[in-house]
Chain A
Amino acid sequence: MLKAKIILVAMGVALLAPQVLAGATPEEDRKETVEYFKQMFPEVPLKDFVNGQYALNEDRRAQWQSLQDFPPYEFAVAEGKEMFEAPFANGKTYGSCFENGGIGVRQNYPYFDEGTKQVITLELAINQCREANGEKPLKYKKGDIASISAYMATTSEGEAFDIKVPDDPKALAAYEDGKQFYYSRRGQLNFSCASCHVQNPGKWIRADLLSPTLGQPSSFPVHRSKWGELGTLHRRFAGCNKNVRAEPLPAQSEEYRNLEYFLTYMSNGLPVVGPSTRP
């Protein structure tokens, strides 16, 4: 009860604090975000936030852990590895497009490309690689791209996210754009991402337990029971938008890439744990 009161007071203070205090830099934003969730869930170790709802509820966590011996995405990851290693028609492989041959690089995505002045996500980079090698791009929400992305995530398991916002006004603008998206209320139901994942993590919305902002992208791509397969982060964004009756934007649209940029920056320092399972 006392704990609940402290949280309420903390939230009240957070909401009442003058705007001038709003994190001026991405790093200040991140620190305040970490602090906010630490206060909200003092008993949860920071690294556990990557497990989303499972970090916040013991029953759910136990249930989830018991399913980890035979994860339902295993086959997709094996397929992803095969595709990743198979040469394109021109003889080159995905590895030729990435640093370190694409092994152990997941934690650096998304990044801001100073040449084209835009945010490059891992999935976008996968398709850019295909097109540069004369292959057709893959669809962005599920299927082969999710399998390849999942395999690449496994090669970065445990690596800490290291997203950078370079000293470039366009990079900062992309970050700010993503932040604005996360906090803007949308749809007929008038929810922002933050309405659920900042204001109400750990609470139930019907039979679903809400996850915290912190660690959200770490486990992607995820295998959702609801989907019965792997899906990318942008597929999840679209699903959340539809839930609040907002028209979703296209996967890999500039808005969603900027959103991923902000969201992943917030998880800097937390480990890559994808792929994972969710309800």
Chain B
Amino acid sequence: MRKGLIYVCLTTLALGVAPVVLAGPSQADIDRGKELVFSRKDGNCLACHKMDDGKLTGTIGPELADMNTRYPDRGILFKRIWDETQFNPQTVMPPFGRHSILSKDQINRVIDYLYTL
């Protein structure tokens, strides 16, 4: 009886934890990311990039689509948002992380959203 209960608990735990690790961000993370990307005060990414259902988007940067194919390595995407000048010194993309425009967490939410494009 008791053994059974422990087993049930362990299964629940495994089921409860595993999806979080494997299935990636929650819808809330993605929603928060989109908010940051679209907000003029935070990411203001639409100023330069066309994407998703964004209106009045700029044409300075490339359109953001198909991000899984273009950035199979999440770490690289993070680094480029953190400080694109490390990859291309003449870029006009703000160094969002290095200049504290967005926090680490915020950049991660932005990436969660970008991978849905």
Q: Give chain A's interface residues, CB within 8 Å of chain B.
A: 15, 188-191, 195-196, 199-200, 203-207
In angstroms, how far is the closest chain B Cβ from the Cβ of A196?
A: 7
Q: Which residues of A contact B58 (CB under 8 A)?
A: 203-206
Assembled-state Cα–Cα distance A6/B101 (Å): 34
Q: Assuming the A-B contacts A205-B47, A206-B46, are A190 and B56 also in contact, with contact meaning beta carbons closer than 8 angstroms in the complex?
A: no
Q: Are A205 and B90 in contact, CB atoms less than 8 angstroms apart?
A: no
Asked if residues B85 and A203 are in contact (CB atoms below 8 Å), the reply is no
Main secondary structure, interface of B, reads: loop
Minimal Cβ-Cβ distance residue in B for A205: B58
Is the Cβ of B56 less than 8 Å from the Cβ of A200?
no
User: Which B residues are closer than 8 A to A by beta carbons?
Assistant: 46-48, 56-60, 85, 90, 92, 94-95, 99-101
Count CB-based A-B contacts (< 8 Å): 37
- What is the minimal beta-carbon distance from A209 to any residue of chain B, in angstroms? 9
Give the chain B neighbours of A204 by CB distance below 8 A. Answer: 57-60
Chain B min CB distance to A227 (Å): 19
CA distance A205 to B60 in the complex (A): 7
Q: Which A residue's beta carbon lies closest to that of B93? A: A190
Minimum CB distance partner of B90 in chain A:
A15
Find the residue from A195, A199, A206 having the highest chain B CB count within 10 A: A206
- Minimum CB distance partner of B44 in chain A: A206
Given A188-B99, A188-B100, A190-B99, check contact A207 B56 (CB 8 Å): yes
Bound Cα distance A266, B73 (Å): 45
Q: List 14 A-B contacts (CB under 8 A).
A: A15-B90, A188-B94, A188-B99, A188-B101, A189-B99, A189-B101, A190-B85, A190-B94, A190-B99, A203-B58, A203-B59, A204-B59, A204-B60, A207-B56
